[in-house]
Amino acid sequence: MRLTSMLSFLVAAGVYAASAAEAFAGSGPPSDYPTSARAEYVFACMKTNGDTREALAQCSCSIDVIASLLPYDAYVAGETVASMNQELGQIGAMFRGAKVARDALAQLRRAQAEAEVRCF
């Protein structure tokens, strides 16, 4: 019971952080990602794909596709779950076992798969 409460709190905190970042960046549509979030995604994607000019174009395309398919708060929730899934022990197990976490991660993975098809 306490683990479920902690999971709900962490996912809610991620969504709150996303909302705060959006408010700070200025008002816009719910799927309008802050520039820093887009840049972080592109930098990480480029590292994974060879740091080439082609990778820059593909990774920029990829985050644009993801942003068109997934609201920013859902993206933050999915990224939070993906990050926490790598944790060992009780915290990681809690995220791997919770339905809300699996759903958030599944949404992110579907958007990433579509971006890969369109951009790479």
Q: Is the pLDDT reported for residue 27 higher than 90?
A: no
pLDDT tens-digit series, residues 51-61: 999 999 999 99
Please report, for the chain, the start and end positions of each structural domain, with discontinuous segments joined by +.
33-119
Cα–Cα distance for residue pair 27/82, rounded to 1 Å? 27
* pLDDT tens per residue across span 2-19: 444 444 544 444 544 444
pLDDT band at 31 (very low <50, low <70, confident <90, very high): low
Torsion region of 70: left, alpha or beta (phi above 0 gives left; psi -120 to 50 gives alpha): beta
Are the C-beta atoms of 94 and 6 separated by less than 8 Å? yes
In 10 A of CB 50, how many CB atoms?
10
Task: Identify each DSSP E strand in the chain by its residue range.
Answer: none
